Every structure is written in structure tokens, then in C-alpha cells.
Amino acid sequence: ETGVTQSPTHLIKTRGQQVTLRCSSQSGHNTVSWYQQALGQGPQFIFQYYREEENGRGNFPPRFSGLQFPNYSSELNVNALELDDSALYLCASSLKGMNTEAFFGQGTRLTVV
Amino acid sequence: DQQVKQNSPSLSVQEGRISILNCDYTNSMFDYFLWYKKYPAEGPTFLISISSIKDKNEDGRFTVFLNKSAKHLSLHIVPSQPGDSAVYFCAASYYGSGNTGKLIFGQGTTLQVKP
């Protein structure tokens, strides 16, 4: 059983640039969710993907977008980066429609300068 | 609107004693609750969960208690060990009414277990 993996682990970008973060979900899981964790805060839900379609979205602007691929892996894209986008981005995989635990990757630390 | 709150930013206990971490929620739709542990530079690790149809769930040293009428849950760690030192997050979710089981997290409580 493979766990959730994210890449890269760290990233530094300049304000206004675009970034793509990647996630491989846990074997057998069909749903991927992305969370943003600012310093000193709990993770905040960005959006969720199921069957390659967005299946719920948190309070994040449209410049945050995503993709899910047939193998259930996923990408998070952020356009027009702002300084406040600096955070830990977490990917979590789970099974849709079931109240079960979500398993998280180690996260990508994004710094916008 | 903070639907899940952990009002204690930090907690310090002696090794071998009980650690009690608390969490309050406001949304009565929540029907599944989870606790995650997070070490620096790692993602959250699932610890234990509880469905709203139960009031207690136990897994080894970890027990979660749910009081639905008070909208309160707690995590008990007995006995506490130095390796338990981490940030603990409470999370809640529900399916239905357009909600897709997304997790709503509290702000976290930093637990320090002293040898």
C-alpha cells in the first residue's frame, strides 16, 4: 500500500508567478482534497476532486484551480501568486461518500517573495 | 466563522500522566470527528475518529469522547509519552446538503510531554 506523496517539498516563487503542485493519492482512494495551512492555523479546505471533476470548493478565489487524473493523482495550480499564498499545501486522499479518515501527504511548503 | 475551535493553543504534561485535548464545534450537521497529529515538516497523521452515533472510541492509549449536546469532544492520551509531543488537530465533517465530506479543522493544540 503506497501512501500519499506530494512534490515538490519546498518551493520559492515570485509574486505574480504561477505554480503547480502535485499529489499522488493513496492506493485504492478515489478522492483527492487540497488544503492550505497558514502558519499557526489549522488546514483550510481548498477543493476536492472525484472522477476528475471538482466536487466541492472552499472559500478560495478562481486563481486556485486543480486537476485530477484517471489514476486519481492530482495537481493544484495557483495563478498570479500573492504574498499571502505563502503556506503549507496539503493533499489528502480518501474514499468518496464514506465517513472515513483522510490520509495526508507531507505537504509542499510554498514561499512567495 | 470558526466552526471547529480548539481554545487551548498549548498544553504541557509530565510523562506518564494523562493528556486531555479539547475541541468545540458549532455546526450540528457534523457527524464524523477526527483527531490528527502533526510533527514539524510532516503532514497530519490520522490518530482516531468517532461517529456521531457513538460517545466514545478507544484505540490503545488514545480515547476520544463525544458530547453531542455540548458540541464538545476531547482526546485523552494515557499514559503520555515524550514522543506524543506534537500539534494535535481536531477535525469534523459531514456528507449531504451539498457538503462533500470536507474536513473542517480547529486551530490546533501544541502538546509537550516532559520526561
Burial class (CB in 10 A: 0-12, 13-18, 19+), B59: exposed
Q: Which residues of chain A have pLDDT under 70?
A: 1-2, 97-99
Q: Which residues of A touch B34 (CB under 8 A)?
A: 101-102
What is the model's pLDDT at position A94? 86
Instruction: Please list the ranges in chain B whose pLDDT falls under 70.
Output: 1, 96-99
Q: Are A56 and B102 in contact (CB < 8 Å)?
A: yes
* Mutation for testing the A interface, residue in B5, B59, B102 having most A CBs under 10 Å: B102
Res A55: pLDDT: 86
* pLDDT score of B98: 59
**Radius of gyration of the CA atoms of chain A, in A:** 13
Task: Provide the 8-state DSSP code for B83.
Answer: G
Q: How far away is chain B from the Cα of A107, in angstroms, using its nearest Cα?
A: 6
pLDDT at A2 (0 to 100): 64
Determine the pLDDT at residue A71. Answer: 86
Beta carbons of A43 and B93 less than 8 Å apart: no
CB contact under 8 A, A33 and B106: no
